[in-house]
Structure 1
Amino acid sequence: MNAATLLTRLYPPAVRERWGEDIRHEVSASGIRSWPDALAGAARLWLHPGDWPETFTGQTRRVLTVALFTLTAATGLLLRSTEPSTTLTADIHHPATSLWLAPLLLGIGLAAPLPPLSGAALRSMTAAAARTLAAPTAAVVALCLTAWSGMTEHLTGFVDAAAVTYYWLTLGFVALRLCVLVARIARSAALPTTRRLSTALLHIGTGLTLAAGQNLLAVVRTAPRPGSLTQTLALGLLAATAISAGHDLRQKRA
């Protein structure tokens, strides 16, 4: 795969379907000097879903639903990388540091596609879920069995590094397959309305902003660590992405 094709695939699906060949040809003809503009163009379009064309009814809502859950999965992996954390918690015993989770969960609930109320459709979706999640479930079971056996406590050197790598690959694989499942369900489920999607994005952005703010406050009060700073910047970037897309949808709808 050449650079022009790879950069073209970064654009939203509807844009690729409508102008993908033109974008690829232009990037290929212009060479490396066009790469920054192509990246910036893809990012700008993802932040302004109201500007996307539609090759079929509901395409924008379907893509945004999947993108929203992909953003949530990325957030989960990011937060897992720094656990345990006293700055960002997620339990009722620490309400102050768990506040960021409330708007995030509300946003996820608003964006969830609703399954159709028919037996055949539900059976089809159940079968799709079983096929999609079979491999990640097996990977998680293997991971849990290894942890429960106590073997990980005695690993050193290369074997320990391999075990840690397997752990993170498993989490990433699970997150990927869950996003694939949402994409498959969205083909036949009742998608959220544009208003619900914009509200969901704004709620998720609010939750991520709170999380980034809590992290930043902790960094200011204590000695800054590269991991905390990186997490704060990543959370801020994800929050800005969600809020920008949510505002754009709301303005276009108005």
Structure 2
Amino acid sequence: MTLNATQWLIALLCAFMVGLSKTGFSGVSIITVALFAMMMPARESTGAVLPLLIVADVVAVTAFRRHAVWSHLWRMFPWAAAGIVIGWATMRLIHDDNILKLMIGVILIVMVALQWAQRLRPLPTEQKPASHLYAAAMGLTAGFTTMTANAAGPVMLLYFLAVGLPKMEFIGTGAWYFCIMNWFKVPFSVQMGTINAHSLLFDLKLAPLVVIGALTGRWLIKFVDQKAFEALALAFALIGGAKLIFDGWPHF
């Protein structure tokens, strides 16, 4: 893929933010989806972002692997996998890049709204069971959004809030969830051609920035007002989602 100097600078910044998002600044991940989808064709952007997310997942799992609550993960995995298959089938049916931009833009705006909703709720102090119906609905939604737009973060945050996971279990469970689901998506992305030799070479150039972002996030979170930082990122993500809808809508 051919990018100009400005696009390469944006790509490097996005890679840094991908790493940052896995170590405390979760809202930042949404803006990277919008920026990548604006820099390159929407379909190819999903495949370009996925390996970068996996690199960041490895760092997050290494740091928080002992804090996962596997009972929640086992409950979600089958439904999330089904959602990924549905998302893959949807992307196979849609060949118009403008329609994909429109779809990703709508997903991003919905995800931003969900992220804002969870920010308004305090973290519960005790765990509570979630119904199988709720787990199924959230799993399907997360699977579909992660396959089509790499934007399942707010859905999972809402689920983890609903079941009342403590802070460290919240982070550790999320780290394992996204790591496993992102690896599960790889064969589907390869089949669609969104992950290929060219995209992997592109990701290889950006991977060091992902690691630097993750390490920076672990250090920075101690000093930065996270709520203000994420609020700004979400505002830009909202603008990015609106831009994608604007680009796709006239041609739909």
Fold in common (TM above 0.5): no
- Higher relative CO (Cα under 8 Å, sequence separation at least 6) belongs to 2
Who wins on radius of gyration, i.e. which is larger? Answer: 1
TM-score, normalising length: structure 1: 0.28
